[in-house]
Amino acid sequence: MTLVKVYVNYKKSILNPEAQAIHSALNRLGYSNISDVKLGKYFEITVDDDSKDIDSEINEICDKLLANVNMESYRYEIVEGANA
Amino acid sequence: MKFAILSFPGSNCEMDLYYAIKDIIKEDAELVSYKKDSLDGFDAVLVPGGFSYGDYLRSGAIARFSPIIKPLQKFAESGKPVLGICNGFQILTEAGLLPGSLQKNVSAKFICEPEKLVVNNNKTMFSNGYDFEQKITLPIAHGDGNYYADVKTLRELEENNQIVFKYWNNPNGSVANIAGIINKKGNVLGMMPHPERAVEDILGSSDGKGIFYSIVKTIKDRGVIYE
């Protein structure tokens, strides 16, 4: 099993009002040193070992479904031999 | 003429549309399950509002892979009218039938209010029953109605006169006050406001009727559209 961690977040030009609400909540809690918060999505995907080209498959999955590339960007990490 | 009204798990405006078409517009309508693989026999398709698949991942992102979407794309390519309302608009952008995306409202709040709109293009098959720059009032009910398109796409929309409805007082942060857009070919319209909830005075407005009458008139004037 190979574990793939996928991170999806909004592009810089896109507003993230939920993250802004969290940011201001943290400031209200007294964490005045926190200058920015981003809120995105995190996926853990387990892939069978017999998969040939994990990279192209993960890119395809992200482009098709996990991210809307119009507003979001993504990156991923492949964790070899992880006990997923 | 016969309208197909698509129904996804989590749609919640399909019956409003059904009654608007049947009882007010006096045309034939049929609910079509997301599992179906054909839209044969229909003259127009309505993609209703709601929260298909619970808005999981992104609004419209999962509905976009339903079996009915392939025939819907074919239907749209043939030039027949497709109208997506609210979640229906979100599904059409995810399915690549309309440019841009709908993101969270700037206020991060769900907004449910009547909104004043301006008819920015009355030369489409969805808006030819209105006057140019006519002001109409339709309800909105959405959390993700903030239309976004990059600068290049926005310029194209403006150059091709694809912005059909604009907000008078932008409630959600949409670029260029966009409330509804049409594809280049002029047969696929997506809009966040709900015309089907404004078809009788007792509902607070009957301004939404014009959209359905425009479709009916266009189809009847043209006869059967190309296939």
**Residue B150 sits in which domain range?**
2-222
As a whole number, mean pLDDT of residues B186-192 equals: 98
What's the confidence (pLDDT) of residue A8? 97
The tens digit of pLDDT for each residue in A10-58 reads: 998 888 899 999 999 999 999 999 999 999 999 999 998 777 899 999 9
Which has the closest alpha carbon to B111: B57, B165, B166, B173? B173
As a whole number, mean pLDDT of residues B173-192 equals: 98
| Predicted confidence (pLDDT) at residue B46 exceeds the cutoff of 90 | yes
Identify whether B86 is a catalytic site residue.
yes
The CATH code that applies to domain A2-79 is 3.30.1280.10
Residue B116 lies in a domain: yes
Residue B198 lies in a domain: yes
Distance (Å) from the C-alpha of residue B100 to the closest C-alpha of chain A? 7
What's the confidence (pLDDT) of residue A48? 87
- Asked if A65 lies within 8 A of B101 by C-beta distance, the reply is no
Alpha carbon distance B125, A67 (integer Å): 33
- Asked if B57 lies within 8 A of A14 by C-beta distance, the reply is no
Q: Which of B61, B62, B104 sits opposite A17 (nearest CB)?
A: B104
Provide the CB-side half-sphere exposure for A43 (13 A, CA): 18
**Across the strands, what pairs with B71?**
none
Alpha carbon distance A81, B88 (integer Å): 42
Residue B54 lies in a domain: yes
Higher pLDDT, B128 or A48: B128
Identify whether B133 is a catalytic site residue.
no
The number of folded domains in chain B is 1
| pLDDT range class, residue B142, cuts 50, 70, 90 | very high
Which has the closest alpha carbon to B11: B67, B50, B60? B50
| pLDDT range class, residue B207, cuts 50, 70, 90 | very high
Which of chain A's residues have a Cβ under 8 Å away from the Cβ of B105? 17
Q: Could you say which residues from 71 to 90 on chain B have a Cβ atom under 8 Å away from some Cβ of chain A? A: none
| Predicted confidence (pLDDT) at residue B67 exceeds the cutoff of 80 | yes
What's the confidence (pLDDT) of residue A37? 94
| Predicted confidence (pLDDT) at residue A84 exceeds the cutoff of 90 | no
CB proximity B108 to A under 8 Å: yes
Sheet with A72-79: strands ordered across: A41-47, A2-10, A72-79
What is the pLDDT of chain B when averaged over all its residues? Answer: 96
Residue B45 lies in a domain: yes
Residue B204 lies in a domain: yes
Quote the percentage of chain B above a pLDDT of 90.
Answer: 96
ipTM here: 0.85
Identify whether B194 is a catalytic site residue.
yes
Contact B79, B112 (CB under 8 A): no
| CA A46 to each of CA A2, B33, B71: distance values in angstroms, whole numbers, following the listed order | 6, 32, 32
Which of chain A's residues have a Cβ under 8 Å away from the Cβ of B103? 14-15, 71
Instruction: Decide: helix, strand or coil at residue B33.
Output: strand
| Predicted confidence (pLDDT) at residue B225 exceeds the cutoff of 70 | no
| Predicted confidence (pLDDT) at residue A83 exceeds the cutoff of 90 | no
Distance (Å) from the C-alpha of residue B152 to the closest C-alpha of chain A? 12
Q: What's B179's domain CATH number?
A: 3.40.50.880
Residue B66 lies in a domain: yes
**Domain ranges (residues) in chain A:** 2-79
Contact A82, A49 (CB under 8 A): no
